[in-house]
Amino acid sequence: MNPLSLSPAARQNALARSLYRKLFRECQRIPPNASLVHLNQWVDDTQIKDRDTLRSCLRSSFRRRNNYNPISFSSNNKKINSSEFETTMEAKEGIQRGMKGLKYCLSLDLSQLSDAPTDAHVSPQEFETGRTSNSQGQDSYSLQSPISSDDLLRAVEWLPHVSEMKDTETKVTETESSKLPIFPLSGPIFPDDQGKRLPLLSQFSDAPVVGMEIPLQIFEPRYRKMYQDLLSSADTSKRRFVVPFPHPYRPGQFAAFGWIYEIVDVKDVADESNGQFQIVCNHAVTQPVKILGITNPEDYDTQLTYLRARADILHNTEDEDGGNTQQGEENTNSTIRQKIGSEDLQPLEELLQQLQNRPLSLSSDNNNRQIDKNLIDRLLMASREGSIWPVAQVWLANLQTEILRLQMKISTRIQVQAKAEQQKSPNNNSTERQVFVTEEMVLLAQEPYKSHLRCMLIEISTLIPWLLQEQSHKAQCHQMCERIRERLVNETEHSSNNFTFLLLAFYLCFEQPQMKIVK
């Protein structure tokens, strides 16, 4: 089902509130005594000296009365009452002009902005559409992530959809690669196959990395059959299977790189759990694997049996210099590998040390919330273990926490609106509040966080297969370092100027509707 289209009035109201909140959050970033005289060019009759006068100026120009009454605006200290609201917004092209201006401002250098007449300007036609998407497919009015979700998807090597593999079966089976069972342990994390609708509440588990032990409860018939086939083999080294990484919103499509799981322990619990689970197995994540193709793709739809793949089992990048060793040499080689791994991670460690004392934020709705210094400390501690995978685990766990925090914030806003509607109902005591939740409420609550949430959800789905594509541990460390730099440093630079951009967008909306932007 396609997302519900919001009415212009509802969208304007939501965006006005979002812009107002964001402006004041950005004000909180400014040191109390910092000079802000450079902002005077955007204000006609108020001299902005410091943070307090900036906030006072914003309050006098943009005021919200309460949660349910219309927003009241004033221009040059002249109030606009609610009866004039619609006419005034139409005359100045409303919130949509301001948010469109914000989009342009965020894409340009602040030094290139001018209110002088020029042929390069934002044309009125560009503001006629209430909702447009930028070239990266992100919502123009949603607070942006420093990383493009489309870039994250493009960086991963994806297999064709299972339904498109039928013609490749012969080619795949002619290779000398191993034939292994496939056990997809998870599916898409978006509720639609286009990745446009956000999940209301995500469920996460620990990211699988080499060396982890993972228990699984097996109850589906085709996978019970898979375990029976594996356990019946006398060769214990063949008790392994491929766990692929699914596409975040396309069912039946997997990343080309995944993990090998080896069965290390099996327990029959059919009687203990009243037949709900047949067996419980413990597994070790041992090696990366590259999937070349699926030999029985037709069974994906029929689900009569488990899938099988031709795959190349790869060496762990940390073991590149280890080779085959005798047991007496194991400790020495382990020390050597850890030393080499630490050298590979040195650039990341230096970056984290530089960031320790900087005010950072990983959230698009941070409420002046600095990145928890414990995050930097945990990343530093993980980087000293000599492997990229502890770093990746810490990073993904932090993303999961941030996603859940924003989802809970969205849920709270939805419940507040539903409660207001419930109180208007004559049968409010006998009707469950959830009945009053509408799709429009959900979309309005998600609107400010849509792009950022989408990006983080896709990053969780793609980070590990993206790293597995690299052929050396050093390359993996470099990619992880650049990812952390891209998100943390770029977000910091983006936030440092964000209050200026937002203030400019506000005056584009209410004070100077004819302002033009120099490219």
Structure confidence at residue 62 (pLDDT): 57
pLDDT of res. 23: 67
Range of the domain at 125: 8-140+500-510
Give domain status of residue 330, yes or no.
Answer: no
Please indicate, yes or no, whether residues 68 and 207 belong to a single structural domain of this protein. no
Q: In this structure, are 180 and 52 located in the same domain?
A: no
Question: What whole-number distance in Å separates Cα of residue 202 and Cα of residue 403?
Answer: 8
DSSP 357: T
The reply to whether 1 falls in a domain is no
Taking alpha carbons only, the member of 78, 30, 38 closest to residue 55 is 30
Give yes or no: residues 346 and 295 share one domain: no
Distance from C-alpha of 309 to C-alpha of 294, rounded to nearest angstrom? 4
Same domain, 482 and 505: no
**At residue 62, what are phi and psi to the nearest 5 degrees?**
-150, 105
118 and 162 in a single domain? The answer is: no
CATH number reported for the structural domain that contains residue 223 in this entry: 2.30.130.40
In order, the DSSP letters of 107-175 are TS-GGG---S--SS---GGGGS-SS-B-TTS-BTTSPPPSS-HHHHHHTS-BPPPGGG-GGGHHHHHTS
The reported pTM is: 0.68
- The four Cα atoms 406, 410, 412, 413 give a dihedral, to 10 degrees, of 140
519 belongs to a structural domain: no
Angle between helices 346-355 and 330-344 in degrees, nearest 10? 50
Contact 35, 50 (CB under 8 A): yes
Determine, yes or no, domain membership for 14.
yes
Cβ neighbours around 100 below 10 Å, total? 21
Type of residue found at 88: T
Using CA atoms, how far apart are residues 466 and 256, in angstroms rounded to an integer?
Answer: 10
Q: Which residues contact 263 (CB under 8 A, 6 or more apart)?
A: 227, 230, 231, 239, 240, 281, 282, 283
Cα–Cα distance measured from residue 438 to residue 397, given in angstroms and rounded to the nearest whole number:
31
pLDDT tens track, the chain, 519 positions:
555 566 666 665 666 666 667 666 766 666 666 655 545 444 444 556 667 776 776 666 555 433 333 334 344 444 444 444 444 444 334 344 444 444 444 444 434 333 333 333 333 333 333 333 333 333 333 445 667 888 899 999 999 999 888 644 445 444 456 899 999 998 999 999 888 899 999 999 889 999 999 999 888 889 999 999 999 888 888 899 999 999 999 999 999 999 999 999 888 776 555 556 678 899 999 999 999 999 999 999 999 999 999 999 998 877 654 444 455 455 555 555 556 667 889 999 999 988 886 655 444 444 434 556 888 999 999 999 989 999 999 999 999 999 999 999 899 888 888 888 888 887 777 678 888 888 888 988 888 788 889 999 999 999 999 999 998 999 999 999 999 988 877 655 444 444 445 555 554 444 444 333 333
Q: 3-class SS at 504?
A: helix
**Is the domain of 308 the same as that of 348?**
no
What would you measure as the largest C-alpha separation in the chain, in angstroms? Answer: 86
Q: Are residues 482 and 504 in the same domain?
A: no
The number of folded domains in the chain is 3
Strands (E), 222-335: 240-243, 257-268, 279-294, 307-313
Pick the closest to residue 247 from 335, 186, 299 (CA basis). 186
* Residue type, position 46, single letter: T
Q: Please indicate, yes or no, whether residues 171 and 312 belong to a single structural domain of this protein.
A: yes
How far is 73 from 423, CA to CA, in rounded Å? Answer: 28
- Report the distance separating Cα 103 and Cα 143, nearest Å: 10
Q: What does residue 158 show for φ and ψ, rounded to 5 degrees?
A: -105, 140
Does the residue 186 lie in any domain?
yes
Tokens of 249: 């919103």
Domain shared by 306 and 167, yes or no? yes
Quick one: pLDDT at residue 356? 80
Last residue of a domain, one of 325, 347, 381: 325
Show the tokens assigned to 209.
């990395």
Residues 182 and 260 in one domain: yes
Same domain, 207 and 354: no
* 395, burial (CB in 10 Å: exposed 0-12, middle 13-18, buried 19+): buried
Answer yes or no: are the C-beta atoms of 218 and 281 closer than 8 Å: yes
DSSP 219: -
Q: Are 491 and 360 in contact (CB under 8 A)?
A: yes
> Token pair of 176, please?
């000398």
**Which of 291, 325, 359 is at the close of a domain?**
325
CB distance 468 to 163 below 8 Å: no
Q: Does residue 103 fall inside a structural domain?
A: yes
**Closest residue by Cα to residue 18 from 454, 417, 364, 491:** 364
CA–CA gap between residue 285 and residue 387 (Å, rounded):
15
Length of the chain: 519
The residue among 331, 337, 336 whose CA lies nearest residue 318 is 337
Instruction: Choose one of 271, 291, 325: the last residue of a domain.
Output: 325
Give the span between the Cα atoms of 345 and 342, in whole angstroms.
5
* Residue 319, in any domain of the structure: yes
Region for 274 from its dihedrals, namely left if φ exceeds 0, alpha if ψ lies in -120 to 50, beta otherwise: left
Does residue 394 belong to any structural domain of this protein? yes
Whole-number Å distance between alpha carbons of 158 and 176: 21
Please give the single-letter amino acid code of residue 406: L
Rounded CA gap, 487 and 198, in Å? 21
Q: Give the dihedral of Cα atoms 235, 238, 239, 240; nearest 10 deg.
A: 170
Strands 307-313, 178-182: pairing is antiparallel
Residues 82 and 101 in one domain: yes
Q: Which of 306, 281, 283 is nearest to 218 (CA)?
A: 281
